[in-house]
A and B are shown apart, each in its own frame.
Chain A
Amino acid sequence: MANTSQIQLSSLDFDSIKQNLITYLQSQSQFQDYNFQGSALNILLDVLSYNTFYNAFYMNMIANEMFLDTAIMRSSVVSQAKALGYTSRSAASARATLNVTITRAVSDSTTSLYLPRFTQFAAQSLNGKSFSFYTTDDSPYVSNVSVGTANTFTFNYLNVNEGTPVTKQFGVNNTTNPSQTFDLVDSNIDLSTLKVTVQNSLTSPVLTIYNLAQDATQVSANSNVYYVEEGSNLNYLIYFGDGVLGRKLPDQSIITVSYLVTNSDLANGLGTFFLQTSILNGSTSNVSTSSASAGGAQQESINSIKFSAPKSFIAQNRIVTKNDYITQINKNYPYFDAVAVWGGENQSPPIFGKVYISAKPKNGYTVTLDQQNYLINDILKPLSVLTVTASYVPADYDFLNFNVGFKYDPTQTNLSQNQLSTLVANSIATFCNTNLNTFNSSFAYSKFLGAIDGTDPSIQSSSATIYLQKQFYPLLGQTSSYNLKFGTPLHQGITNDRLYSSPYFESPDSAGNSQQCYLEETPFGFGAIGSITIESPGYNYTSAPTIQIQGDGLGANAYPIIVNGQINSVVVDVSGNNYTTAAITLIGGGGTGGVLVPVISGSKGTIRSYYFDTNNIKQILNPNVGTIDYLNGIININNLYITNVGGLQEVLSIFAQPYNSNFASNNEIILTYNQNDSTALSITPSMIST
């Protein structure tokens, strides 16, 4: 039986607290009506229990908010992160790169021109919403260029950010605001666009630019720096030095801040821009897009702060390990689905002192040159170790193409063939989204089929042929070289399982007529020594005998490994080529009886181009466009001349089957499946025969 003379204190909910009080009251005899809901004593217990409950909740909440792991309120998380030296990432505005040409009026004689900060450009999204983009810095001056009677000013690679410009002024008053903290009030500020200038007094002509203090160890008493931290309501506060860590602002100074308030990710993906600000009277402008708007992102979420703050603390604002790189990139540029980092020492051949970075954008496949430079020069370089240079390697995509067939039992489903096919397509998309689309991912054939079989109970069996698709942009009108790395061994195709290309490309034949051409493979007739099998290991070998390979080919070399006087294994260090027959003789080694048999196979092949003539007969255009290395999965195209890629497309694709049905990607290669490509998946359903 419960000890009623001691009150239980561990309960946290109202009913338990009240029950504990009632249990305790049972030990006294003066007041007996504690159990009846209408009694005065019971109502007193209600008040007491409610008060206890309220305090318990409040204390529990305070305790939770005191730790980064359990805090729920944003202000608490931000405050905890602040103790780790971490400022939450602000909203990021979408950024585009433009080439702007301004043609001055004939009567105008301006000879040099610049675009000031907050020069406005307009763009419109597909759903009709308008966005304004602004330059965030003054551009350099450019001089006029005469083209006939026209005079133009050209601004190349001009960066513009989406948002609404805001300019505010604050007066410094050390009596009413001794901490010199100023609230920027707006939410959705892109802090990277924040500019702070200080005027010592209203009449002072000098404007001093203040910069964000990045590293307290670099700040002296006279540094013109400001600090920034998140306020309690998604806003940001700026404050200034105290005369020791940064210059203290004199009384009556005027602070001017300007920044962009952004629509963050809503303005991503816009490609057409117009100049809105009038630059020169009577001038006309032409804006072309170098890279479409990208990189817009919401203010950092609570969960992201909880995740990133401890990691940022571990890295101590330095980039040393692989994870430091990934953390810094994700923190400063939250635009990537996946980031891969590897050291040059893992390259083949090793390149020391280099770090390679590759990334996959969230809604696309290409990271623009501007983004790459920003990543390397602005984010990584200031924090990385002096002797280590980072370099960006564009992500290389293996697009997976599937020919899927499945058999289903129509008595077990009321879905039509088309409906089942749609469900299977969805399953494949889900499977690929879960397992692929990132660096160092692997494709497991059995799990892939399992995903198809698991789509619907009526599906009895399935099969799939997988092609890896490599895309490249051929240079037109010149002989060019291309190196395509599949990153996995490739299958040697002989008949209809050959490598192929799509769409057709145009190339002139020997008579100079343009033909619609395609690429295909021709393996080296299985002409290399792929391996050597041991028919008899022999005996009494005291040293390794020399292996002499005799045949109609050239260059093969191998050596045996002897264990306990017998041939234990054979290593083929050079496979040679052009072998159709081969035999092995063992020389020396002291033993007898060893019999080895060479196995001829091919590890390389050539790529050739062909077309169909007017009689629809296949004609080889160029028998050696390039080579294919099946073992390493590399295609080198070095003799390809293309005048046009079919159907006004720019991309040429090469399709090859992987050697193994289970394969993985490494380094910069990403296995991906493009759901938007209708040719990437073909499904053939069939009913089981009853």
Chain B
Amino acid sequence: MALDTTKVPSNITRIFTDFDVSFTPHPVTGDINMVTGTNSVVQSLMNLVQLNSYEKPFHPEISSGIRSLLFEQMDSIVAASLKKEIVILIENFEPRVQIIDVDVSPDYVNNQFNVTIEFYVLNNTLPITISAYLQRVR
């Protein structure tokens, strides 16, 4: 699937700039490090996916139910639910991303879900893939 350029909003023509959530200072200037372009979008995407309800003040709708799903029985049904949650969240709250595919697969051995999100950033024709694993920590 190629990037559908007709869906690129007119305001997404600039360079994306955000600061680095790790808050590491620039080694020379001492200023906070910046992330730009697709790195900024990827950082935003990872933040978004990890949001819980009510972590955004007054906006509980900006969240995914991922954390609660991790406490469900590990099977393909929960994996499908996770995929659905991630897709809905990204489509609603990250307008810079066009999803190509989201793959969630249970890894019974390590007791975790492996998540792969493949997407375009809307002002870039190269597809991006990020992988992560979701595991309950307690």
Chain A interfacial positions (CB closer than 8 Å to B): 14-15, 30-33, 36-41, 43, 46, 49-50, 53
Contacts and interface: CB of A to CB of B under 8 A. Distances in A.
B21 A14 contact: no
27 contacts: A14-B57, A14-B58, A31-B18, A31-B34, A32-B14, A32-B17, A33-B16, A33-B17, A36-B44, A36-B94, A36-B96, A37-B48, A37-B93, A37-B94, A38-B44, A38-B46, A38-B48, A38-B94, A39-B40, A39-B43, A40-B20, A40-B21, A40-B43, A40-B44, A40-B47, A49-B57, A53-B57
Contacts of A40: 18-21, 43-44, 47
A46 B55 CA distance: 10
B79 interface: no
Nearest to B18: A33
Contacts of A36: 44, 93-96
B56 interface: yes
Contact of B17 (A15, A31, A46): A31
A36 B90 CA distance: 11
A418 B44 CA distance: 72
Nearest to B35: A40
Nearest to B45: A38
B62 interface: yes
Tell which of A15, A37, A49 has the most Cβ of chain B within 10 Å.
A37
Nearest to B40: A33
A36 B93 CA distance: 7
B107 to A, nearest CB: 25
Contacts of A31: 17-19, 34
Contacts of B21: 40
Contacts of B17: 30-33
A2 B106 CA distance: 51
A31 B21 CA distance: 13
A39 B21 CA distance: 9
Interface string B1-29: 00000000000001111111100000000
A140 B101 CA distance: 97
Interface in B21-75: 21, 34, 40, 43-48, 51, 56-58, 62
B47 A38 contact: yes
Contacts of B46: 38
B17 to A, nearest CB: 5
Most buried by B among A15, A32, A33, A46: A33
Interface string B87-113: 000000111100000000000000000
Contacts, number: 57
Contact of B93 (A33, A38, A41): A38
A41 B46 CA distance: 14
B57 A50 contact: yes
B56 A37 contact: yes
Contact of B18 (A14, A39, A50, A53): A39
A267 B57 CA distance: 50
A406 to B, nearest CB: 56
A37 B47 CA distance: 9
Contact of B62 (A15, A33, A37): A37
A43 B34 CA distance: 15
7 closest Cβ contacts across the A-B interface? Answer: A38-B48, A38-B44, A33-B18, A38-B47, A37-B93, A50-B57, A40-B21
Nearest to B19: A40
A461 to B, nearest CB: 58
Q: Which of A39, A46, A53 has the most CB of B within 10 A?
A: A39
Nearest to A41: B18
Contacts of B16: 32-33
Contacts of A50: 57
B18 A43 contact: no
B87 to A, nearest CB: 15
Contacts of A46: 56-57
Contacts of B56: 37, 46
Contacts of A41: 18-19
Between B47, B51, B62, the greatest number of chain A beta carbons within 10 A of the residue's beta carbon is seen for: B47
Contacts of B19: 31, 40-41
Contacts of A38: 44-48, 51, 93-94
B60 to A, nearest CB: 13
Contacts of A33: 16-18, 40, 44
A50 to B, nearest CB: 4
Most chain A beta-carbon contacts within 10 A, residue among B19, B20, B43, B45: B19
A15 B19 CA distance: 22
Contacts of A32: 14-18
B5 to A, nearest CB: 20
A41 B43 CA distance: 11
A488 to B, nearest CB: 63
A158 B45 CA distance: 82
Nearest to A30: B17
Contacts of B43: 39-40
Contacts of B34: 30-31
Given A33-B16, A38-B94, 12 more contacts: A15-B58, A31-B34, A32-B14, A33-B17, A33-B40, A33-B44, A36-B93, A36-B94, A37-B48, A37-B93, A39-B18, A40-B20
A64 B43 CA distance: 43
Contacts of B40: 33, 39
Nearest to A29: B17
A49 B94 CA distance: 21
A50 B59 CA distance: 12
A30 B44 CA distance: 17
A57 to B, nearest CB: 12
Contacts of A14: 57-58
A39 B47 contact: yes
Nearest to A42: B44
Nearest to B96: A36
B33 to A, nearest CB: 11
Contacts of B44: 33, 36, 38-40
A50 B56 CA distance: 10
A12 to B, nearest CB: 13
Given A33-B17, A37-B62, A37-B93, A43 B57 contact: no
A253 B57 CA distance: 56
A462 B45 CA distance: 75
A164 B57 CA distance: 50
Contacts of B57: 14, 46, 49-50, 53
A205 B44 CA distance: 81
A49 B93 CA distance: 19
Contacts of B45: 38
Nearest to B50: A38
| Most B C-beta atoms less than 10 A away, residue of A15, A38, A40, A50 | A38
Interface in B81-138: 93-96
A553 B40 CA distance: 115
A117 to B, nearest CB: 59
A30 B40 CA distance: 13
